Amino acid sequence: MTRLLVSVVDSAEARLALAHGADLIDAKDPDAGALGALPLASIRSIHASLPEGIVTSAVAGDDDDVERLARSALSVATTGVTFVKLGLGRAMARPAGVAALGRRLAGQGRFIAVLFADENPPLTLVAALHEAGFVGAMLDTSQKRGIRLPDLLTMDQLGSFVADCRQLGLMSGLAGSLRIEDIDRLAALNPDYLGFRGGLCLAGDRRGQLDPLAIGSAAYRLQAIRQSRQVDGEQAA
């Protein structure tokens, strides 16, 4: 069932997001780009501020240099978060780059690769990510200028990406300037997570404050979808 990922900048936002229905708390610096990494101390503070058992993630930035990206990811992995997210730029989003990164990270954490839909990544890269030891894959957008993920890829493309992840046992996520009104059609594809920042901020400003009412609305919508599917499944049985 699809769950709600909310990106936060500090422990206060983390507690706010959790209180209003977020399922995964994601530490990220929106002032530093699509996958801007927060300082390690901030990530540790966010993780420590949440009850035990809450799923957390933190971004390690994006880079086309294997060694720099690996060092950042391994540092973030020491903070205690459940998952570390790595942005794969154009040069890295290739089988050779993924393989090299996988060798560098092997056995040292639970890593999720983020592909930027506006950089035309090969969606067939999912198999290489699985082979390299990643536990998940997400689609996002690198340019936060109002162009949303559904503007860049068709529902068939997004559905194929999610299905390929599921077949290989990878966690899947869809993000990229999403709005609450995108939830129904994207949740129909059954990704593990839908990721939000700007769409849940006041005035839609990803660098501004999270809006608790918007978080609650997104969480309520996903919960209603899950409950509807559960009822349909019980009736079918």
Catalytic residues: 28, 85
Q: Is 111 helix (H, G, I), strand (E, B) or coil?
A: strand
Characterise 4 by phi-psi region: left (phi > 0), alpha (psi -120 to 50), beta (else).
beta
Q: To which H or E segment does residue 196 belong? A: strand 193-196
List the end-to-end C-alpha distance of the chain, in Å, as a whole number.
18
Q: Are 56 and 15 in contact (CB under 8 A)?
A: no
Q: Are 98 and 59 in contact (CB under 8 A)?
A: no
Distance CA 163, CA 51 (A): 32
Q: How many residues does the chain have?
A: 237
Q: Is 23 helix (H, G, I), strand (E, B) or coil?
A: coil
Residue 157: closest CA among 116, 189, 109, 202: 189
Distance CA 24, CA 117 (A): 22
Q: Please give the C-alpha separations between residue 79 and each of 7, 67, 113, 138, in angstroms, as whole numbers.
A: 16, 19, 18, 21
Residue 42: closest CA among 86, 73, 88, 81: 81
> Which residue in the block uniquely carries the two structure tokens 């957390």?
56
